[in-house]
Amino acid sequence: MGEAAADNPNRRDLEEGIQRDFSRSMSYGDYLRLDVLLAAQQPLSDPPQHDELLFIVQHQTSELWLKLMIHELRSARALIRTDDLAPALKRMARIKHIQHTLTDQWSVLATLTPSEYAEIRPFLATSSGFQSAQYREVEFLLGNKNADMVKVFSHDESAQAALEELLHEPSLYDEFLAHLARQGYDIPQRLLDRDWSQPHTTDDDLVQVFAGVYAAPAQHWGVYETCEELVDIEDNFQQWRFRHLQVVQRVIGHKVGTGGSSGVDFLRRALSLTFFPELYEVRTRIGE
């Protein structure tokens, strides 16, 4: 019997060196705090609804990816502030992969049919993804500032404090413009001394600066590459927004959202928001 098992091509015996006793050693589950993580899925439906776990896991994993994105955005912003462009670009490359993962996740939630969602929706009460503090942190870091959003988190002192702090700090784009000014680019002073709590608006003089960069990429390679990384990030963000809209429309149609928004129409208006307007406007100027 033992020889038969040893000859079984579908059996893989443990190697002698593999750790088996974790009574005094840290295990995989210990390091990742899986006891806490896997206990965080607490469906509320009564009687229990099969698809509620999908809804919870989808949104919890999204929050984990948002946490990592905030970590990378803060680091990229700090590196640009000290003119360390190369490692900042590495951070941005990772951010783009996180964004792709977040967008791809919508395909899992899209398997939830309207009938299935109707069974769990009452248990969501007034909770909504609109209330994600981490999502707002990402938006603030990228430059979509909105003081009214800070008020939404009056019930959560730490989240409100984090957003209030970010509201009054330069965004990633603001730091990039300051970096350009330090490198000798003719960045208008009004963009360097502005009120950081306000969203950036299109500046024609800045478009001209970027037009010069795009007219001679080889002479401005680091700046040129950073511009394209920022465009990639915004493009990915818009794809995430659009995929979100599609899934919501597919699952609830034009119903009002659980958080009180107009639902699909509210999400559609977000598609007109832009973080880096000059980097899109400059494309009209190229070749003229």
Binding residues: 55-59, 117, 121, 244, 258
**Contact call for residues 76 and 91 (beta carbons, < 8 A):** yes
Which residues are known binding-site members for substrate? 55-59, 117, 121, 258
| Residue whose tokens read 């994600």 | 132
Whole-angstrom Cα distance, residue 39 to residue 200? 42
Give the CA distances from residue 88 to residues 21, 26, 70, in Å, rounded to whole numbers and listed in that order: 42, 33, 14
Distance separating alpha carbons of residues 79 and 72, to the nearest angstrom: 10
Task: Identify whether the C-beta of residue 42 lies closer than 8 Å to the C-beta of residue 113.
Answer: no
Q: Which residue has the tokens 């992969």?
A: 97
- Residue 69 CA to residue 98 CA, distance in Å, equals 7
Could you tell me how many residues make up the chain? Answer: 288
Burial class (CB in 10 A: 0-12, 13-18, 19+), 264: buried
- In whole angstroms, what is the distance from residue 288 CA to residue 89 CA? 29
Pick from 138, 92, 134, 136: which is nearest to 231 by CA?
92
For the annotated binding site for heme, the residues are 244
